[in-house]
Amino acid sequence: MSRDTGGVLRTVDLLWGKDTPRGTRGPRPGLDLEKITRAALAIADAEGINALSMQRVAGDLGYTTMSIYNYVPGKDQLIELMIDAATPPPPQPQVGDTWREELERWVRATWELYHAHPWVLKVPTLNPPLGPHQLAWFEAALQALIRSGLAGGEVLSLGLYVIGSVRGQAAMALDLTTATSAQETADIAEAMSRVITADRFPALHAVSTPSSTEEYGAAGQRLMELEFGLKLLLDGVEAYVEHRSSAAVIPHTAR
């Protein structure tokens, strides 16, 4: 997404309901920002982000394109509104949850969000979260990580890393399931079995099996890999925090 029409400050005003319709004729009866956003969201959910245009939204609502521009300065800002509208309230912590369980629930909910609105994965991430729903989602992840014992900057860095990991795995799953049919997946498995030989690629040959190759394009496989990687990552966080805490209480010996 570009950063041109309307600017970031205008986008923030739109997301937080502080903007007013612009244009010489004022607001149109029966039209508002929420209706525009919902219509655009319905198009993207049904047909993908490439089907979206200001003209298409206007036509679906029965208004002129210029009427839409009175409310939203451009397509980039409309997409920001759509992403925030598509983002539900984040999962709530359950009584007795550890910080790990809280974060794991958040990761799975984020995966499900991408699965429900896969077009979001086609939108380049050029700005940090700006909308109230997106910020609430990020806040939920950080609240879990703060309980881990990491310092402030470490919490933010790890939070961004986790978000990137979920998005990356979800995007890979979307690309693979969209691009390959069952027959193509089987053909890929056959082709790989011919070229991955023990003498040239010993490590890859050792870990590859016919089933793992055939499952490569499955969305469920990507989720399993994500959860496995997350488990090892959080194991490392716990060990890191414990080591730092232990080092802090060891008295300095006299020399």
Is 86 in contact with 52 (CB distance < 8 Å)? no
pLDDT in tens, 211-250: 655 555 566 788 889 999 999 999 999 999 999 988 876 6
Is 53 in contact with 35 (CB distance < 8 Å)? no
- Could you give the domains of the chain? 7-86 (1.10.10.60), 99-180+217-249 (1.10.357.10)
CA distance 165 to 209: 25
Across 13-27, 61-75, 120-134, 164-178, least confident range: 13-27
pLDDT at 156 over 50: yes
Average pLDDT over residues 26-52: 91
